[in-house]
Amino acid sequence: MKKCNFLFNMILVFCLLTFFSITLFAGEIETDELVVNTDVLQQEQKIVGWGTSVGGDHLSESWREAYRDLGMNLLRFHMRHEVLVHAPDDFATPVELTEDMETNLELMGADTPIDVDNPASTGFQRIDPYGDTADWLAENALEPERVKVAGSLWTPPHWMKGPTGEKQNFVGVTDDYETPFLSDMKVDWLDEPQPTGDTVGGRLKTEDKHILEQYGWYIASWISAWNERYDKSFDVVSLQNESTFENPFISMTFIVDEKGNEDFGQYAIGLESVKRAWEKFDMDTRIKGPHVAGFKRNPNNPYQLFWQDMMIEGVKNYEEDPELNDFLDYYNANFYNSTDEGNTKNVAGFWKGGKKVAPDEWGWHTPPGVQEDGKPIWYSETGEAAGGGWPNSIETALKIHSALVHGQASSYIYWQFCDGDDELTQHVLVTEDMLEEPLQSKKYAAFKQYSRFIRPGARRINVGFGEEKLSSAGGNSVYDIENSINVSGFIHEQDEELSYVFVNKMNSDINMQFNLGNVPELFYETDFNLFRTAAGESVNKIDQLFPDEGVLSFVVPAESVVTLTTISL
């Protein structure tokens, strides 16, 4: 009789598990309880960190304290082209660099005293707020030893660029100009307005060996000048922000040849010139690229993803240097994607390859996948359409989930932390008047649910719903994150910390039965904290849980972000 009961129970369990797996993607979860399982032995990317770009002339103490509160350790900045100019109002005349780095440091203005009353001056005094903030972080971040600075070129000096045959207009200027051109916009910082020197569009003159040499020397000298001037050394560089088209502001394309034809080998040519400069000047700064604007739009039209894939292929197949891809330390892109199912499939397709993600949906380009290339992924600039309020700002957390779980992100950098504007737009996490109490911004709170509790050095681990450990439940697929509850998990072995983040986009509360599984034994004897951001609360500590035989029970409310972590604020 006992054997019959046992057999009946096993059949019942099998049927329930089968039913559960079927209903995970039924559009609505047919139970108010989900089982979460984890496997720390299956580890993915290592987290390098979190950050934003920095702009503006002066960064307040409250700005820095809020940055620290988020746990930020990455600082990205625009590598301004005005550091190497003939005169404050002359951006077109070449300034030749030399084989002697000390001479180049003088040309770059590495030792130029700061002249705060002259915004039109040249040299490194134009970027001093960036370096000052980097030095502050290297002393005052949550983990100062984990701080990294990352620069991106928006353009090299104007004289290194040639035409593409295209026309563009500058923001605020109605006339079209053939690229590249120097903006005729004026600024009234002084009694006598000065030209901004913004160099719009164009392409690197890769057909000119002398210009190529100068280009490599320029980037090496820029970084060396930074290291000469500031205590915090330069860590990572991108050769060109959004390198596939000519933005109507300081920009350059890396996919057009001297005849105006599309050529995905152009980035490889520029990269090789930088590699030669690195060898010549004994540089150790790491390189990230090729750096498109995002992976839009969907498998039927993955045009931005296509550009990124083709530039990577151009590096891999570069005949002049078959080992050039070894010089590229990180694959890098901006992350201006939406969070719909199609965009998320593109993000996953870049990493896994299209055939593993949506084998029957790709149109004219099926991404090959970069999973086997051994390159960590950086997302160097992101933002989202939603600005402020809840549940709109849950999109901030949803994009981070997409980047970490489907895009294999090691580094996640928002566009701006605060740009001085009084509106909470897609471009910033807080406004100027929120800096004293930044949790007024729901975007800030949603970001903090990740950045403060997933520390640099953590590794993403396999965690998910049901026996299959699915990262999302409730939607059409794991990529339908907008209609699901989503989970990601991370272990920091050095710091002995565990963190899991749930993003519930559904309109119902979900009871969680969380199995610790094969985590290290110490976590079975560790308190876990629950922090939550929802309509009426921001990173609010709602509970402290202790495992009951390796199980934690809690609720993830509708339209909320919940972090389960061993870290205490």
Rg of the chain over all Cα atoms, to the nearest angstrom: 25
Tally Cβ neighbours within 10 Å of residue 491.
23
| CA nearest to 330, candidates 74, 139, 136 | 74
CA dihedral sign, ordered 324, 325, 329, 334: positive
| CA nearest to 219, candidates 268, 127, 151 | 151
Given a cut of 70, whether residue 392 has pLDDT beyond it is: yes
Mean pLDDT, residues 530-543: 97
Given a cut of 80, whether residue 24 has pLDDT beyond it is: no
Question: Rounded distance, CA 489 to CA 460, Å?
Answer: 6
- Helix H, strand E, coil C: the string for 340-381 is CHHHHHHHHHHHHCHHHHCCCCCCCCCCCCCHHHCCCEEEEE
Question: Rounded distance, CA 410 to CA 402, Å?
Answer: 12
Under the banding of pLDDT at 50, 70 and 90, the label for residue 31 is low
Given a cut of 50, whether residue 14 has pLDDT beyond it is: no
pLDDT in tens, 60-71: 889 899 999 999
| CA nearest to 136, candidates 222, 68, 69 | 68
| Topology of the domain comprising 49-76+116-166+200-456 | TIM Barrel (3.20.20)
Question: pTM here?
Answer: 0.93
Pinpoint the alpha helices (H) of 194-322: 209-229, 266-281, 303-316
Question: Rounded distance, CA 327 to CA 311, Å?
Answer: 14
Query: What pLDDT does residue 194 have?
Result: 62
| SS3 call for 78 | strand
Question: Rounded distance, CA 214 to CA 211, Å?
Answer: 5
Query: What pLDDT does residue 134 have?
Result: 92
20-46+460-565: CATH architecture: Sandwich (2.60)
Cβ(107)–Cβ(84) below 8 Å = yes
Cis before residue 119, ω within 30 degrees of 0? no
- The structure tokens listed for 316 are 């891999």
Under the banding of pLDDT at 50, 70 and 90, the label for residue 86 is confident
Cis before residue 460, ω within 30 degrees of 0? no
pLDDT in tens, 180-189: 999 876 655 5
As a whole-number percent, the residues of the chain with pLDDT over 70 amount to 89
560 — alpha (psi -120 to 50), left (phi > 0) or beta? beta
Q: Where in the chain are the domains?
A: 20-46+460-565, 49-76+116-166+200-456
CA dihedral sign, ordered 67, 68, 74, 78: positive
Question: Rounded distance, CA 275 to CA 399, Å?
Answer: 33
Question: Rounded distance, CA 94 to CA 97, Å?
Answer: 9
As a whole-number percent, the residues of the chain with pLDDT over 90 amount to 77
Question: Rounded distance, CA 287 to CA 292, Å?
Answer: 15
Environment class of residue 359 by beta-carbon count within 10 Å: exposed (0-12), middle (13-18) or buried (19+)? Answer: exposed
Query: What pLDDT does residue 175 have?
Result: 74
- The structure tokens listed for 235 are 């860590």
Higher local confidence (pLDDT), 321 or 11: 321
Helix (H) or strand (E) holding 134: helix 128-140
Under the banding of pLDDT at 50, 70 and 90, the label for residue 29 is low
pLDDT in tens, 293-338: 999 999 999 999 999 999 999 999 999 999 999 999 999 999 999 9
CA dihedral sign, ordered 344, 348, 354, 359: negative
Query: What pLDDT does residue 49 have?
Result: 98
| CA nearest to 57, candidates 113, 115, 122, 126 | 126
Given a cut of 80, whether residue 171 has pLDDT beyond it is: no
Question: Rounded distance, CA 61 to CA 384, Å?
Answer: 26
- The structure tokens listed for 127 are 């970027």
Lowest mean pLDDT, pick from 14-18, 103-107, 484-488, 492-496? 14-18
Phi, psi of 118, deg, nearest 5: -130, 80
DSSP 520: -
Given a cut of 60, whether residue 27 has pLDDT beyond it is: no
Cβ(161)–Cβ(471) below 8 Å = no
DSSP string, 418-486: --S-SS--TTBSS-GGGTTSGGG-HHHHHHHHHHTTS-TT-EEEEEEETTTTBSEESSSSTT-GGGSEE
pLDDT in tens, 215-269: 999 999 999 999 999 999 999 999 999 999 899 899 999 999 999 999 999 999 9
Higher local confidence (pLDDT), 128 or 545: 545
| SS3 call for 292 | coil
Query: What pLDDT does residue 25 have?
Result: 64
Question: Rounded distance, CA 235 to CA 224, Å?
Answer: 11
Lowest mean pLDDT, pick from 68-77, 83-92, 101-110? 83-92
List of residues 6+ apart from 256 with CB closer than 8 A: 164, 203, 262, 263, 266
- Residue written as tokens 């010139």? 273
Under the banding of pLDDT at 50, 70 and 90, the label for residue 198 is confident
Question: Rounded distance, CA 213 to CA 289, Å?
Answer: 19
Mean pLDDT, residues 174-185: 83
Mean pLDDT over the full length of the chain: 90
Under the banding of pLDDT at 50, 70 and 90, the label for residue 113 is confident
Pinpoint the alpha helices (H) of 24-122: 61-69, 101-108
List of residues 6+ apart from 246 with CB closer than 8 A: 164, 166, 168, 179, 200, 201, 202, 252, 253
Given a cut of 60, whether residue 4 has pLDDT beyond it is: no
Given a cut of 50, whether residue 8 has pLDDT beyond it is: no
Query: What pLDDT does residue 420 have?
Result: 76
